Amino acid sequence: MAAATTSKAILPPHNHPTATTTATKNGFSISIRAYHNSTIESHPGQQPSNKGIKLAESLSNMLHLHIERNLNHRTSNVPRIEDKHNTPTMSPKENISKKWQEIHGSNDWNNLLDPLHPWLRREIVKYGEFAQATYDAFDFDSFSEYCGSCRYNRQKLFEKLGLTKSGYKVTKYVYAMSQIDLPQWLERSRLADTWSKDSNWMGFVAVSDDQETQRIGRRDIVVSWRGTVAPSEWYDNMQNKLESIGQGEAKVEHGFLSIYTSKSESTRYNKSSASEQVMREVKKLVNYYKGRGEEVSLTITGHSLGGALALLNAYEAAKNFSGLRISVISFAAPRVGNIAFRDELYQMGIKTLRVTIKQDVVPRMPGIVFNESLQKFDDITGTLEWVYTHVGVELKLDIRSSIYLKKRLNLVGIHMLETYLHLVDGYLDSTTTFRSDAKRDVVLVNKDCDMLVDELKIPPNWYQLENKGLERNFHGRWVKPTRDPEDIPSPTVESYSNVLEMQGSYGIETLFNI
């Protein structure tokens, strides 16, 4: 009989797997198949050695550990906004009627900011959304014949912007202009027949309805000021010159005051200034509701330039309404006036809460170098009439607290009001990161900028009219639609106050639907 033969063979990896395993975690699966590719001595009927199996198991364990570490790192740093898609975008509205004075600064917000009281957070967001409405409804399309106006009339404003549950009704639109001579390259519209070459829609006055009034403990009048959009307003912002206001030593920035007080008989909408328009409306509302025996407050809000106008508005209101509780809740507001202006605001009892972001440069201007920090040298410098100073209490936010935001320097994105509202909604205290149960839709941050981390896959600057306002007509041609007659800026807006004066209190009830 022939002797049994022994052979040596090289077993190729693709023919002889020795072990297979699968590593799975958080929906990710990886199969590992190890092959014995060394020279072995085989005999008929002999199984491969255990060496390959042990090798596969070792590799599998190592890969399991690697996957776990990377997935844990990934899931802890990449937000999942899909988990919030079926949750409300607003925090519950609590009854704050017994605490509203504290929430509006009667104790200068002591023990309410760090940590941030949830009732105060909700109110800050509410007023911030009113300020955001002045951007969302502003027509700044240079191809539009209504460039510089509001896209909607006051009865439809909150409906169009999803603010019907705010508990407020708009009673008045405010228009502003400036008398500063502008260079030709700063002209706003490319059209010769724009609705107004002089005026811009600058904000609105609103008042709380009966249900909201009961919840918040008083009848609240709100004035919301728009921030800088028009080039002429940017030009005004750059006027780094103090101008006297009132009879004392108080001085304010020249450009801000120009926007607030400018008027001209030759204009269509600014025969009266923004100041005069607002004060007439506030006076009517205060007299009407106080006449009914109600407690009334005035809350003024605004972002950026709007925050500056809010302070000027508060100063004037305090001069005209003795005993009226006035508070300002501003976002990204620059310095407005000198120390004497600040001190007068304090003496008149105006409470101001400034919401800022550490990385935003706008709140540092004007007066980046010469500002309120020099007050400590009063003994040397004397009264600092020429130095800009901030007003009120500061709630300082930080973009690094939110895992949803890019951390690179983005001056425009950091300054956007939606970025501010996102951070307010997630703020707990100065030592804690973003709260996990924040309500506001994260997607809103990218409405007009690129601040959300790329992993979210949210396109930047996504907020715009469908097809940029163009529609197909009956023949299938793309055309610019005409506005509904009730949405066209009309001189009747200017005569609105006169109508109310003629109709009296009954007219107020009719027009406000209250």
- 102-121 pLDDT, tens digit each: 999 999 999 999 999 999 99
pLDDT in tens, 340-363: 999 999 999 999 999 999 999 899
Angle between helices 254-261 and 305-320 (to 10 degrees): 60
Q: Residue 171: which pLDDT band, with cuts at 50, 70 and 90?
A: very high
Domains annotated on the chain, with CATH: 95-397+465-512 (3.40.50.1820)
Regarding pTM above 0.75, the answer is yes
How far apart are the C-alpha atoms of 223 and 391, rounded to whole Å? 18
Is the pLDDT confidence value at 313 over 80?
yes
For residue 325, the surrounding DSSP H or E stretch is strand 325-331
Range 171-197 average pLDDT = 66
**DSSP states of 136-198 as a string?**
HTB---TTSTTTTSBSS-TTTHHHHTT-GGGSEEEEEEEEE---SPPPGGG---S-TT-S-SS
| Residue 12 predicted with pLDDT over 50 | no
Task: Say how far apart CA 476 and CA 465 lie, in whole Å.
Answer: 19
SS3 10: strand
Hey, which residues are catalytic here? 304, 360, 415
3-class SS of residue 72: helix
Give pLDDT tens digits for 125-134.
999 999 999 9
What is the tens place of the pLDDT at every residue in 454-487? 999 999 999 988 888 899 988 989 998 888 888 8
- For the residues 493-511, what does the mean pLDDT come to? 41
CA dist 276 and 399 (Å) reads: 38
More confident residue, 170 or 25: 170
pLDDT for 507 equals 43
Separation in Å, CA 243 to CA 248, 254, 388? 12, 5, 12
User: pLDDT higher for 28 or 439?
Assistant: 439
